[in-house]
Structure formats: C-alpha cells, structure tokens
Homo-oligomer: A and B are copies of this chain.
C-alpha cells in the first residue's frame, strides 16, 4: 500500500475535475473523507497552485496549473488532435458536450471530451471512460461501420464476455438488424436499456479517406430538452456527420502537407 495522503489527494483532484465548482460537503459525500482532512488536502493543493478556493462561488475548483500534471503525456493519435477543434466549436455553438472515442480491444475509450466547455453537460469529464460497443452510442457508431472479418473478430471477443452490456453478441440476427439500422441512419444512439436514462448520446463514425473507421464522435444531451429522440437526432446527427467528414478532411490535409501516415496507435 502507498502513502495514504497522496492517494487521497489524487482522488480529491480527480473529483475536483468532475465539476466546475465543488463544496467541501460535496467532496465529503463523494470521497468519504472527513471534512477537516479535505480542508487540509485542499489547502495543500491550493498552496501548490493546483486548486483555487473561490469564496464568491463558495467552493473549490481546479486551476490552470493542473495541466502541468499531464502536459508531458503524449496525447495520442492524430484523429483526436484533428477532432478537438471541431468538438470545441460545436460545443460552443450548441452547448451540449462532444466526445471523441477511440477503439480499444473490446470497447471504445473516450479520449477527448468538451464537457468542461459545456454549460449543460449531463456528465462531467468522461475522459478515459471505457464504453461498451453494443449499448453505448460511441461504441455502436464505431462497431456498426467496421466491416468484414474485423467485425467478426470483435464480436467473437464480445461473446466471451459475461458483461450484460455485451449480451447482444449472442443474438446474431438482432445484432445484424441493429447494425443495418445504424448504417442506414448514419448515426447511432445509446441503447435505452442502459443507464443513465435522463440523457442520450448521438454518435457518428469518423472514417478515413481510405475507408477505415478511426474513431467515433458523439454528442450527449438531456432527454428532457427535446420532445423526442427523433427531434434531437434530426437536429444533431447532420452536424456530427459533417463534422466527422470535416475531421477526415483535416486529417488528410494534415497528413499530406507534412506527409505522415495516419497513426492509429492508442495507449491504455
């Protein structure tokens, strides 16, 4: 076991990243740490410059310096780099948060999200969150556009899983129907069978000029903001689709002008 205070501090720092502003009481509830301990940890982080105590807002928030804790981390594939700007732009315009997810073995992992830029996000920073392929919007948007034996390979892996969210892999015809529907529509949504119910995600694939599915791009919204799922999809799916194709274009420009290959590596 490691140094307790450090583990606690890291947890606190993670929690702080999940909300724009955090009261001691909230952190107490979420981390289970005694309040005096929280105050002490937060004061330490504040002295070090990672945290600000905004008395006006009545709580603590992360400050700019936290970026220095991860600035040296190699950010990952060029798709994410190319997609960020579009994701941010869409969120600024439409408010809802955008996420970019990359495939990783039997799921997709959120590698970038504009949650911190969104004033109305149902979630708070989903970066590094792993999502299932058969139930989640971002997973389905990726999977449904994968073809041939790569598709079969993934399904085989999923079959070996006992995660209830992967259950569909045992029902080939149902699965096929879903995939066909998604392909025809050009976008996927989160299954209505999984939590959370008060939000939904609309996602589209990002497909390279060569036809390879590189990532998926999703928008998450509160269901209560629209009278029906259809309405939300009609509104945002085209936006996501054109953004996805713009990202593919950018990737092309970025690679051709400096002649590099699209790199599909991802870290775990």
The answer to whether A262 and B64 have CB atoms under 8 Å apart is no
Separation of A80 and B72 alpha carbons in the complex (Å): 17
- Do residues B68 and A14 form an inter-chain contact, with CB atoms below 8 A? yes
Query: Complex Cα distance A14/B71, Å?
Result: 9
Within 8 A of B (CB), among A37-95: 40-41, 43-45, 47-48, 50, 62-75, 78, 81-82, 84-86, 88-90, 92-94
User: A1-31: which residues lie under 8 A (CB-CB) from chain B?
Assistant: 1-3, 5-7, 9-10, 13-14, 16-20
Contact among B2, B68, B86, B243 for A125, CB-based, below 8 A = B68
Would you list which residues of chain A between 230 and 251 have a CB under 8 Å from chain B?
A: 234-236, 238-239, 242-243, 246, 250
Residues of the B chain whose Cβ atoms lie less than 8 Å from the Cβ of A41:
3, 6
Which bracket fits the contact residues of A?
A: 35 or more
Q: Please, which residues of chain B bring their CB within 8 A of the CB of A250?
A: 85, 250
**Given A89-B78, A89-B254: A69 in contact with B265 (beta carbons within 8 A):** no
Offer 7 A-B interface pairs, CB within 8 angstroms, sorted by A: A3-B41, A6-B6, A6-B41, A6-B44, A63-B267, A68-B125, A71-B115
